[in-house]
Each structure stands twice: as structure tokens, then as C-alpha cells.
Amino acid sequence: MLNVPNYGNVDIKSIIFDLNGTLGERGRVDEEVKPLLERLADKYTVVVISSDTFGTLEEELGALPVRIERASNAAEKVEIARGYAPYAAVGNGNNDVAMLEEAELAFCVIGKEGATVDALLASDIVVTDVRDAIAMLLDEKKLIATLRG
């Protein structure tokens, strides 16, 4: 559990990522991100929930210590996420909003594919690269510096 001054306690057991537009682009995860996911998996259960639009989930993530889940819509995505609570969520689109709203801590990634206003408003932290979100989750002092009141 992380105690953030003037913010509150943040208890996270899992980190849930959206794939397209968040963790990767067009179904591909940057090679620099994969070792970061491995490090994150040493601290948390790491889950990627995606509709797998590009059919790349297993190819991109199958060798990593992450759980892969498929969801065809926002309702399925949030239902799967609830099974990993308490969780932090990392997303960028309308189909991530409910998952972001229910998260203990929510990150919106405004990357190359952009982000929706609703995803932005449902988030606690906004970053322009998923690596920045992962870095904050790996270094709790960065989280405290951003969240403290």
C-alpha cells in the first residue's frame, strides 16, 4: 500500500493495460516496453485486455510474464478488470473509460493514436508515453510526487 500525502492510500495488486493506442500501436508493442513489463511483473500481476483487432496478442506478449485477456467491448473489459482488483489501469479510449473509473489509480496515455476526452477525464494521471506510466509504477516516489496534494 502506498500512502500519498493529501491524496490518500493507493492499494494496487494488478496493473491492467489496454493494447492498441496504449501499450502499443497497431497491435505491436515497442521492444523497449517489453523489458519494462517484465520488471513490472516482478511487483504486480500484469494484465493486457484487448479485442486483439490486429491478431497480435500472443505473438507480442505470449513470451512475457503477463496475463492476456480478450474483451470485445467496454462492459466485458471492466468485468474482466474487476476480477483483478484492486488494480491500476492504463488506457486511452472510450472502451477503457469504465475500467479507468473503477481503478484505484488510472493513467491515460496520449500517444500516437491519441486519447478520448472521456478517458482523459476518467484518469488520475496523464502521460504521453506508456513508458512514463510504467516508470511511475516502478518508482513509487514518482507517483507520490505527481499525486500529492
- As for how many domains the chain has, the answer is 1
pLDDT reported for residue 30: 94
* Rounded Cα distance, 37 and 75, in Å: 25
Residue 23, domain extent = 2-147
pLDDT reported for residue 115: 97
Question: Pick from 72, 56, 71: which is nearest to 23 by CA?
Answer: 56
Question: Pick from 105, 130, 93: which is nearest to 15 by CA?
Answer: 105
Question: Pick from 65, 2, 70, 67: which is nearest to 36 by CA?
Answer: 65
Tens digit of each residue's pLDDT (9 = 90 or more) over 29-75:
999 999 999 999 999 999 999 999 999 999 999 999 999 999 999 99
79-86's contacts with Cβ under 8 Å and 24+ in sequence apart are 80/47, 80/49, 81/16, 81/47, 81/49, 84/13, 84/14, 84/16, 84/45, 84/47, 85/13, 85/14, 86/11, 86/12, 86/13, 86/14
Return the minimum-mean-pLDDT range out of 13-17, 115-119, 132-136, 145-149.
145-149
- Domain of 15, CATH number, reads 3.40.50.1000
Is the distance from CB of 108 to CB of 92 less than 8 angstroms? yes
End-to-end CA distance of the chain: 18
The whole model's pTM is what? 0.96
pLDDT surpasses 90 at 82: yes
pLDDT reported for residue 149: 79
Percentage of the chain beyond pLDDT 70 is 100
What CA dihedral angle connects 30, 35, 37 and 38, to 10 degrees?
Answer: 150
